[in-house]
Structure 1
Amino acid sequence: MEKTTRRLPIVERDEWLQPVEAQMNLRHERYERKMADIGRSAGSLVDYANGYRYFGWQWDDVLDGWWLREWLPGAHDVYVFGDFNNWQRTEIRMHKDAAGVWSAFFPAAMYRDRLRHGSLYKIHVHGDNGWLDRIPAYARRVVQDDETKNYTAQFWNPAEPFDWRGDAFDASKIGSLLIYEAHVGMAQEREGVGTYREFTEKILPIIKKDGYNAVQLMAVAEHPYYGSFGYHVSSFFAPSSRCGTPEELKELIRRAHELGLAVIMDLVHAHYVKNLNEGINSLDGTDHLYSPPGDAGYQQYWDSKLFDYGKEEVQHFLLSNVKYWLDEFHFDGYRFDGVTSMIYRHHGYVTFDSRDRFFDEGVNGDALTYLTLANRLAHDFRPSAVTIAEDVSGMPGMCIPIADGGIGFDYRLGMAIPDFWIKQLKEVPDEQWDIREMWSVMTDRLPEVKTVAYAESHDQALVGDKTIAFRLMDKEMYFHMDRASENIVIDRGMALHKMIRLMTISTGGQAYLNFMGNEFGHPEWIDFPREGNGWSYAHARRQWSLAKNGFLRYAWLGDFDRAMIRLVKKYKVLADGYPWNLLMDERNKTMAFSHGDLLFVFNWHPSASIPDYELPVQAPGKYVPVLSTDESRFGGQERQSMAAEHFSFDAGEGDGQRQPHIRIYNTSRTATVYLRKK
């Protein structure tokens, strides 16, 4: 492999990176060396990532039977047992090859009537930690016994394979991403665990009606503790059986595609559950099968196990997992969870106060190489695939194309935005909000880095925190959300809720995300069943009926969200890039900016409504309001007429040229969008 001689485009374009050019080159060369190794061994990265087609249960046409294979190099003995042999642990011995792969063959002539679709099984592993009953890492279906609560692998072989014919969805054609983040299990209104089928029948139509074009599904891979929100994964190739069968998840995705919705999976490759009974921890009896040995393999902040990204077999396992969900389930891409934890040995728990932090000994170069390979694989296998990085550190090149020296993600999450809103609401009275700081936070991104903006996600809704709606209106939501009630807390909360969302979507990035229910101001936190709440499902659900009730104000918030999404799509606001700053009036807490022919005016002042307020516009013309947070149809007072016409006039010199202005009634706690007509 030749060393990089040309300057990487990412360094060429960014003077800030030129002092660390050698480190950037080294990072890219590590990826290139790995790609060359894969090319020599497998031909291509796509062909390399086929672990799910070799391990686990695989049918052999030549020998007419099933193979079961598992990588367990440190094991001394391995047996497979299940209902097909009356759970006799040491009857069917697996055999080990030179690579540490154990296998057993099940001839159809002998097992046809015993090894059936739905059969339960485990492996019995003798390792350094003794004899343990375990679930194979490549199990595609894992179920929990209702009585014992124990998890068991399940032989999954439907008589007819799922019919994907006609599913030719292309996520690249949906336009700017408008993501509806959802959790299938808590998406229903009844107390209990929702199913894939319920989500398909009841929730997908809501998402479509609301105008979103992508669904981001959380907690897809199997996880033993429901309250982990899916982040303590135990079986990486098995969709959560709580919500139904793999076929029902596939039907959900196919139906979403029919509705024009992309489906993005929340992929957890940052860590895995430490449980021995359910997970892959010490599966071969050693502490370093999928993890680095000792303390280096433990994520102390999350009480979970870390992956050893530099180990070839672990890389192969994870890359095969990336391809598996795209191939077998037709997901349209991934939101990679916990990227910051992956790429730093300190997991991001430091202050990123200098450029050296991105290149010092705290950086996990193996993780960066893995993520680059994962992005290359996803886009090679499915060119329309979308990849999103959850990285709070700002690692250089995270969302730059691999060929330019980047890591290859399409988007990063704008995590500073929800943090800012929550901090404002918690610590600063809104009459003291700094509109210049607000503008800076919303627009603080590099031109090349596509950002997913969001005011709040599932993180802000968890017990111990509060949603924006709940933080604004709190207990008053229980007593004064009926439309006949008069309450200044509710009035303020409704107004700011709409303004915050419109500000975020119109300034924060090139894509937008909302967590289910937040669009209509869902009143309560998320609290999964646990010992502390009596194992209650009361807060692990979404009360959709609140938004459908014509006597409550939730419907107004939902109506505004739909109108906002419709406007953003119609005028391609997200694709327009940075907003054009026209006015920052700190005294009156008023800002104005434009996107194409749209003029956005935000008056954050709690009381100052100003008649004949003059503000600059980008071009002359007639400006007519097309959306306002104060419209009566959204629960506002409609203090300005939506039928008004505002003609520009010449207000003298501005920036070396004549600056057109308009006059409006600038009402307090209102955001209004005007359309310029020539």
Structure 2
Amino acid sequence: MAKKITNKEHETTTMESFSLITDYDIHLFKSGKHYKLYEKMGARMATHNGQEGAYFAVWAPNARTVSVIGNFNHWKRDQHVLHARWDQSGIWEGFFPDIKHGEAYKYAIDSNSGQQLEKSDPFATFCETPPKTASIIWQPKYEWKDQAWLEERKRQVGKPKPYSVYEVHFGSWRKKMDEGGRSLTYPEMAIELVNYVKDLGFTHVEFLPLMEHPFYGSWGYQLTGYYAPTSRYGSPEDFMYMVDCFHNAGIGVILDWVPSHFPGDAHGLFTFDGTYLYEHEDPRKGFHPDWKSYIFNYGRNEVRSFLISNAVYWLDKFHIDGLRVDAVASMLYLDYSRKAGEWIPNQYGGNENIEAITFLKEMNEVVYGQFPDAITIAEESTSWPGVSRPTYLGGLGFGQKWMMGWMHDTLSYFKHDSVHRKYHQNEITFSIMYAFTENFMLPLSHDEVVHGKGSLLGRMPGDEWKRFANLRLLFSYMFTHPGSKLVFMGGEFGQSAEWNHEKSLDWHLLQYDPHRGVQKLMQDLNRLYRTELALYQHAFDPKGFQWIDYGDRENSVIAYQRNGDAREDMLIVVCNFTPEVRYHYRIGVPYRGQWKEIFNSDDQQYFGSGVLNHGLLATSPVKYHGRDYSVSLTLPPLAMVVLRLEKEINEFELNDLGT
């Protein structure tokens, strides 16, 4: 039975004797080692003494009183009062048989300082659709059908595999223009986006954050509901269904995750119990000047439990295949984007955020410990060493790291008119100097097509034909460079306008040959990347790459080898960064025989000019580029060609031929 507490004005109800939280849970929580808090905290349906109702648990150690408010009690603060646990954990809890599944609710918190706050649940699994801000009692029930995918994922642990990622902002990928321009829902994307990504051959889709966020214009990077898929596009079950459909189409799902900062919205984590609970009190550590948001206190054990549990939650309950961790650089450095006097050195006088570093290491250890077949990817823009190295070797423990230097150098190079590129050859070759210091992912991300930067196509120089040829060459060079790949939506068909999160991609452009050509190229690049072992077997190892020639500045040509374990897997790649056709261009090759062109970005099906190398290219015993043999080929304009050894000829065969 519920214990009733009556005073002169109000009658309140709570169930003090019922709890889902054990003493061991409290021990783990307070020591920062509870990695499945989502099974204990928040709101959930439960049964006590034969009565069905809702159980609530919330961390608010500096509150004077905490109650649950909603339509069920006309949002009155004195009706459903929680009680503080005896163990000094700061957790308030209670069970109420009269609250049902699907009810909207908030926590009414009276702080010790006299503030009256109304907060959404940090552990809510579903929320009202913004601009509404209440949490919703929701326990998703879904029957997964992706067991074959998950089993195969486990079998592939430790094996080389291609990562070709299609990055998507959910709300602006495609809109229903006949329905007021609304975004597609999770079930609709489960059909349209799944089919599109599968048709283009990407191995993974990556979503900009889909956790609940109040401001659509933040693209999802200002989170208030860390445990709730945004209700803008459907229910948690709808989200699960979409993930299921991706998996059954053979496509992995990566989510952007933001443990670096959170917004100051009144209903969110900010000053949750009237004090700086999740964030630092001192703005020199707790306020982010760029994003006007608040930085988590990584030294607080309860906050570490909250965040690491959240990483585990998406992999556990939603079968997500990986997390791309946003803004890691801002976490690593205490002086990130701060002037002198605006930051506090660590205990050793340095600018490293030791608390954040240990948090990231622990997060990766926990994720890979529980999900060795998942992946974490760091967006880290500095030269911090060992981001994607194991923690036992002193690294941060991520699986991969975005190769920001490659992205900036490559886009800078392509902006130059071809006549000037011979003076900037180092911009296109320098990345190999450090390409194997990390497990790098090559990103052409959303950050490169906003804020006045223009689209990828818009940054290419020259007339229309040259711009499209340059874009095709950019993608072709990217897909044959060591490392995994990421392309932001719209780039794959040559979106001409800068990305606008309020608008759909310009799908009408696909009625024009140049845009269809880029899309066809992307499809064939994905097929090439997935089928040619040399392009991914040693993606993060120097034995997978070898220069043939990086010094032909005058012609703006580079040539390199991509190697697999077997000789027959090896590929030769040659890039011509000028619009001049180069006839009888000789390159050194390691083996005598007949070579075949298996890819040419100048193919007419891509809207190229059709300068191809037909038939087989026979080697000559002319030593070139330090190799005993060479072939002569035609280099198409602003294009890349890929050669594979079709037939090797040994000395015995040469004697038989009378050579």
- TM-score above 0.5, yes or no: yes
Contact 2:594 2:616 in 1 (8 A): yes
Choose 241-250 or 665-674, whichever is displaced more.
665-674
The corresponding residue for 2:517 is 556
- What are the superposed Cα offsets for residues 183-208 of structure 1, whole Å, 9 maximum, x if unpaired? 22112143333321221110111101
Matched, 1:495 2:458: no
Structure 1 pair 400–157 and aligned structure 2 pair: CA distance change class (3 A):
closer
Matched, 1:315 2:295: no
Partners of 1:675 and 1:389 lie apart in 2 by: 34
Given residue 579 of structure 1, which amino acid in structure 2 is its aligned partner?
A: F
Structure 1 pair 446–423 and aligned structure 2 pair: CA distance change class (3 A):
closer
1:131 Cα deviation after fit = 0.9
1:588 Cα deviation after fit = 1.1
The corresponding residue for 2:559 is 592
Q: SS state of the match for residue 675, structure 1?
A: strand
Contact 1:66 1:106 in 2 (8 A): yes
Structure 1 pair 510–653 and aligned structure 2 pair: CA distance change class (3 A):
closer
Q: SS state of the match for residue 202, structure 2?
A: coil
Structure 1 pair 41–284 and aligned structure 2 pair: CA distance change class (3 A):
closer
Choose 204-213 or 126-135, whichever is displaced more.
126-135
Matched, 1:377 2:366: yes
Matches within 5 A, 1:604-615: 604-607=577-580, 609-615=581-587
The corresponding residue for 2:530 is 569
Matched, 1:661 2:630: yes
1:129 Cα deviation after fit = 6.2
The corresponding residue for 2:134 is 152
Contact 2:409 2:428 in 1 (8 A): no
Q: 1:335 aligns with which of 324, 339, 346?
A: 324
Matches within 5 A, 1:132-147: 132-144=117-129
1:120 Cα deviation after fit = 1.0
The corresponding residue for 1:676 is 645
Contact 2:32 2:305 in 1 (8 A): no
Q: 2:485 aligns with which of 498, 508, 512?
A: 512
Partners of 2:616 and 2:426 lie apart in 1 by: 32
Partners of 2:592 and 2:280 lie apart in 1 by: 63
Q: 1:175 aligns with which of 161, 178, 182?
A: 161
- What are the superposed Cα offsets for residues 246-302 of structure 1, whole Å, 9 maximum, x if unpaired? 11110011111101111111011010111113x110110012444344442100111
Contact 1:292 1:306 in 2 (8 A): no
Partners of 2:283 and 2:555 lie apart in 1 by: 59
CA RMSD in angstroms, aligned pairs only: 2.6
**TM-score of the superposition, structure 2-length normalised?**
0.85
1:448 Cα deviation after fit = 5.2
Structure 1 pair 650–632 and aligned structure 2 pair: CA distance change class (3 A):
same
- What are the superposed Cα offsets for residues 593-631 of structure 1, whole Å, 9 maximum, x if unpaired? 111331111111233x23222221222221121111111
1:309 Cα deviation after fit = 0.4
Partners of 1:333 and 1:217 lie apart in 2 by: 11
Contact 2:289 2:337 in 1 (8 A): no
The corresponding residue for 2:417 is 429
Partners of 2:426 and 2:633 lie apart in 1 by: 25
Q: SS state of the match for residue 650, structure 1?
A: coil
Structure 1 pair 117–67 and aligned structure 2 pair: CA distance change class (3 A):
closer
Q: 1:116 aligns with which of 80, 91, 100?
A: 100
1:137 Cα deviation after fit = 1.1
1:101 Cα deviation after fit = 0.8
Structure 1 pair 380–232 and aligned structure 2 pair: CA distance change class (3 A):
same
Partners of 1:304 and 1:235 lie apart in 2 by: 15
Q: SS state of the match for residue 560, structure 1?
A: helix
Structure 1 pair 166–633 and aligned structure 2 pair: CA distance change class (3 A):
closer
User: Matched residue pairs, number?
Assistant: 590
**TM-score of the superposition, structure 1-length normalised?**
0.82
Q: 2:615 aligns with which of 611, 629, 644?
A: 644
1:515 Cα deviation after fit = 0.9
Q: SS state of the match for residue 122, structure 1?
A: strand
Partners of 1:614 and 1:446 lie apart in 2 by: 27
Given residue 109 of structure 2, which amino acid in structure 1 is its aligned partner?
A: V
Q: 2:548 aligns with which of 582, 588, 612?
A: 582
Structure 1 pair 663–425 and aligned structure 2 pair: CA distance change class (3 A):
closer
The corresponding residue for 1:458 is 446
- What are the superposed Cα offsets for residues 464-497 of structure 1, whole Å, 9 maximum, x if unpaired? 2212112227xxxxxxxxxxxxxx6110011110
Contact 1:224 1:233 in 2 (8 A): yes
Structure 1 pair 635–165 and aligned structure 2 pair: CA distance change class (3 A):
closer
Structure 1 pair 310–47 and aligned structure 2 pair: CA distance change class (3 A):
closer
The corresponding residue for 2:506 is 543
Partners of 1:667 and 1:289 lie apart in 2 by: 57
Partners of 2:553 and 2:146 lie apart in 1 by: 55
Contact 1:506 1:579 in 2 (8 A): no
Contact 1:46 1:377 in 2 (8 A): no
Partners of 2:483 and 2:412 lie apart in 1 by: 23
1:438 Cα deviation after fit = 3.4
Partners of 1:396 and 1:652 lie apart in 2 by: 40
Contact 1:76 1:126 in 2 (8 A): yes
The corresponding residue for 2:110 is 126
The corresponding residue for 2:3 is none
Q: SS state of the match for residue 128, structure 2?
A: strand
The corresponding residue for 2:239 is 249
Aligned-pair identity (%): 24
Q: SS state of the match for residue 651, structure 1?
A: coil
Matched, 1:223 2:213: yes
- What are the superposed Cα offsets for residues 123-143 of structure 1, whole Å, 9 maximum, x if unpaired? 111123621222121111111
Partners of 1:576 and 1:105 lie apart in 2 by: 55
Matched, 1:266 2:252: no
1:47 Cα deviation after fit = 7.8
- What are the superposed Cα offsets for residues 201-224 of structure 1, whole Å, 9 maximum, x if unpaired? 101111011111111111211111
The corresponding residue for 1:22 is none
Contact 1:220 1:230 in 2 (8 A): yes
Structure 1 pair 587–448 and aligned structure 2 pair: CA distance change class (3 A):
closer
Structure 1 pair 399–39 and aligned structure 2 pair: CA distance change class (3 A):
farther
Structure 1 pair 83–370 and aligned structure 2 pair: CA distance change class (3 A):
same
Choose 394-403 or 256-265, whichever is displaced more.
394-403
Matches within 5 A, 1:358-369: 361-369=350-358
Structure 1 pair 90–299 and aligned structure 2 pair: CA distance change class (3 A):
same
Give structure 1 stretches of 5+ with no counterpart: 1-37, 474-487, 529-536
Given residue 601 of structure 1, which amino acid in structure 2 is its aligned partner?
A: V
Partners of 1:593 and 1:131 lie apart in 2 by: 66
Partners of 2:33 and 2:288 lie apart in 1 by: 32
Give structure 2 stretches of 5+ with no counterpart: 1-23, 564-569, 649-659
1:168 Cα deviation after fit = 4.3
Partners of 2:397 and 2:26 lie apart in 1 by: 23
Q: 1:71 aligns with which of 51, 56, 59?
A: 59
- What are the superposed Cα offsets for residues 532-582 of structure 1, whole Å, 9 maximum, x if unpaired? xxxxx3x3x2233433x2x43211000011111111111120223442111
1:504 Cα deviation after fit = 1.6
Matched, 1:186 2:172: yes
